[in-house]
Amino acid sequence: MTEPVFGKLALIGIGLIGSSIARAARAYGLVGEIAISTRRPETLARARELGLGDLYSADPAEAVRGADCVIVSVPVGASGAVAEAIAPALKPGAIVSDVGSVKGDVVKQMAPFIPEGVHFVPAHPVAGTEHSGPDAGFAELFRGRWCILTPVPGTEEAATERLARFWAAMGSKVETMTPEHHDMVLAITSHIPHLIAYNIVGTAADLEKVTESEVIKFSAGGFRDFTRIAASDPTMWRDVFLHNKDAVLEMLGRFIEDLFVLQRAIRYADGDALYDLFARTRAIRRSIIDVGQDTAAPDFGRQVVEKVTAEADAAAP
Ligand SMILES: NC(=O)C1=CN([C@@H]2O[C@H](COP(=O)(O)OP(=O)(O)OC[C@H]3O[C@@H](n4cnc5c(N)ncnc54)[C@H](O)[C@@H]3O)[C@@H](O)[C@H]2O)C=CC1
Ligand SMILES: O=C(O)C(=O)Cc1ccc(O)cc1
């Protein structure tokens, strides 16, 4: 057991991530009490059945009253509305955070509603599964995974440090960066991979003949891995693409250019080009495994973003 980091923790949204926080905070003794609010009465009732908190309310403002830390764990498109609803009830000195997969747009949505004297420290645990809802969470979800904090300029360091301590106590490795940088790194390492998975499964499903039996029959191959990712929550991922539009379109442009290069190599039987790429990507996978996947994946993303930024700078007049 670690020392409690917060007296009262309020969780708004109690799906995969919110319920994992509730379970971890409880299991590791990180908070005095947990208040839970979520939009749908059935979900709130299920959270109560699972014993995820101490207080339950359909009204998010009631849940956050007196809380030392509030963590908003809803689809990113709903962040602004939640911030507006809880703002009048926030305790001076409280920390308000979130877990959204997008940071720039979430800051834009939430920051205008955060009252003076309340600390806003956005966060993104880079940990999850394709499952959703309060039953899907588990206390160990964040162990050994990155949690990225993107404090806005002027945030008191003590507030960021306190939230970092909370995530570290749940087993996360914590790093701080700007929201813009976060969105570029995650566009290539998480958002585009999900888009590719949704697309390939969609394409295969459209080939009607194949769908009837062969997709299922032969899906032991790489396609099966894509179907896991493509089973991820549709609302959550719709919101990710709508709210990280610029970074995703930038990285998608790069991806499509590189795909055309591969198409050409196949058409003209350029085996060397194919072999060189495949050898390079195999080395990347092996370095990720050697270092430990969670350490290397953001580093790889960072290298890509640095390359893109340097190229854009060089091309600028
Ligand atoms: N699923 C994943 O693997 C990961 C998700 N995230 C982020 O975490 C956030 C939550 O995702 P999950 O927990 O996976 O989703 P989920 O679908 O399991 O849970 C979402 C929760 O938000 C509630 N909700 C939806 N709209 C609401 C509103 N307007 N007001 C109050 N509650 C509302 C739902 O009832 C549900 O309790 C998202 O922003 C997502 O980008 C971050 C890391 C990983
Ligand atoms: O299930 C998977 O493979 C994931 O990639 C989980 C995930 C989804 C969204 C995030 O913002 C972070 C992690």
Q: Residue 214 domain-assigned?
A: yes
ipTM of the complex: 0.98
**Amino acid residing at 140:** E
In a domain, 314, yes or no: no
Whether the per-residue pLDDT at 315 is higher than 70: the answer is no
Closest CA to 198 of 239, 230, 227: 230
Question: Residue 105: CB partners within 8 Å, gap ≥ 6?
Answer: 76, 243, 244
In a domain, residue 220? The reply is yes
Residue nearest to atom 3 of ligand 2 (CA): 129
Nearest protein CA to atom 3 of ligand 1, as residue: 128
Q: Would you say 71 and 45 are in contact if contact means Cβ atoms under 8 Å apart?
A: no
Instruction: Give the number of the atom of ligand 2 that is nearest the alpha carbon of residue 240.
Output: 11
Token pair of 33 as six digits:
């009490």
Cα end-to-end distance, the chain, whole Å: 57
Residue 172 CA to ligand 2 centre (angstroms)? 15
Q: Which ligand is nearest to the CA of 61?
A: 1
From ligand 1's centre to the CA of 287, what distance in Å? 32
Mean pLDDT, residues 93-111 taken together: 98
Q: Return the residue whose CA atom lies nearest to atom 29 of ligand 1.
A: 78
Ligand 1 atom showing the smallest separation from residue 100 Cα: 39
Note whether 137 and 258 are same-domain residues. Answer: no
Question: Does residue 12's CB lie within 6 angstroms of at least one atom of ligand 1?
Answer: yes
Closest residue to atom 11 of ligand 2, CA basis: 101
Tell me, in angstroms, the distance from the centre of ligand 1 to residue 203's CA: 27
Residues 180-238: tens digit of each pLDDT: 999 999 999 999 999 999 999 998 888 766 666 677 777 767 888 899 999 999 999 99
Residue 80 domain flag: yes
Residues with CB under 6 A from ligand 2: 101, 126-130, 190, 229
Examine the fold and report which residue of 177, 194, 226 is the final residue of a domain before the chain moves on: 177
Number of C-beta neighbours around residue 116 at 10 A: 5
Query: Cα of 60 to ligand 2 centre, how many Å?
Result: 26
* Final residue in a domain of this structure, among 118, 148, 177: 177
pLDDT digits (tens, 9 = 90+) for 274-295: 999 999 999 988 887 766 554 4
Residue 52 has a pLDDT of 98
My answer on whether 12 and 58 are in the same domain is yes
- In the block, tokens 């207080």 appear at 55
Segments forming the whole domain that contains residue 287: 182-304
138 and 29 co-located in one domain: yes
Count of structural domains, the chain? 2
- CATH (domain of 40): 3.40.50.720
| Residue 309, domain member (yes or no) | no
Q: What angle separates helix 245-267 from helix 234-243, to the nearest 10 degrees? A: 100
